[in-house]
Amino acid sequence: MTKNKIFDFDFVTDVLEKSYITGQAPSVTLITNLKKNPYHILVSTIISLRTKDQVTLSVSNKLFAVADNIEALSGLSVECLSSLLYPCGFYKTKAANLKKIAGIIIDEYNGKVPDNIDDLLKLPGVGRKTANLVLILGYNRDSICVDTHVHRISNRLGWVNTKSPEETEFALKELLPVKYWRRLNDYMVSYGQVICKPISPFCTKCGLSEWCPKTEVGKHR
């Protein structure tokens, strides 16, 4: 019974969606709702890495007020970018990468953010999470974006048994029908921030708790 219910993807995503609706979307998704431009998705996702959502929103808005397109970004110095990106995590490294990215996109891609994962992954500081978000939110492509929340919750549910977000991405693509792919990150990020926390998750508040195997969950509330 447990396995059947937890692998009822309509049921699971319905529980996640209800929590998502009453909570708040991840910062990059909020930016997407306003901008819907691959450039903004790429830049804000890079800013979001190891940075809290509120900081990501404020820093992204501050940067876009000065550089709302790739050409304007290219015209900024690394020092100026560093100042604009503060206090996001690793702001100096991100400033240097964004400066390089702007030059590469202008010189090699005619100013257009690449629309395929191979080219996106060639950009400095861009990993699979960032590349997949650009494809999903910027180009409306079907893919799965896996961050720490998606990786953690997918393993706790017993959907996958993986050691890294990259392994989880490919395992989920084998497991899940395509119709579930695009919103999975939004739903699980929201759920992971509020309910299925990394340490001591709120299992008593979780609509999946009765069936969830709680893989590697020790203390819970």
Which amino acid, one-letter code, is at 126? V
Which has the higher per-residue pLDDT, 131 or 33? 131
- 88: closest CA among 132, 55, 124, 115? 55
Mean pLDDT score, 143-156: 97
pLDDT tens-digit map of 2-58: 456 999 999 999 999 998 876 677 888 877 777 669 999 999 999 999 999 899 999
Q: Does residue 157 contact residue 172 with C-beta atoms inside 8 Å?
A: no
Whole-angstrom distance, CA of residue 45 vs CA of residue 27: 9
What integer pLDDT is reported at residue 58 of this predicted model?
A: 94
What integer pLDDT is reported at residue 1 of this predicted model?
A: 39
**In this structure, what DSSP letter does residue 51 have?**
S
- 99: closest CA among 71, 121, 65, 135? 71
Which of 32-41, 56-65, 191-200 has the lowest average pLDDT? 32-41
**Percent of the chain scoring above 90 in pLDDT:** 87
Q: Does residue 150 contact residue 132 with C-beta atoms inside 8 Å?
A: no
Mean pLDDT score, 182-204: 94
Whole-angstrom distance, CA of residue 196 vs CA of residue 219: 12
Residue 31 CB: number of other CB atoms within 10 A? 25
pLDDT tens-digit map of 101-121: 999 999 999 999 999 999 999
Separation in Å, CA 202 to CA 2, 174, 197, 217: 19, 29, 7, 11
Residue 72 has pLDDT above 80, yes or no: yes
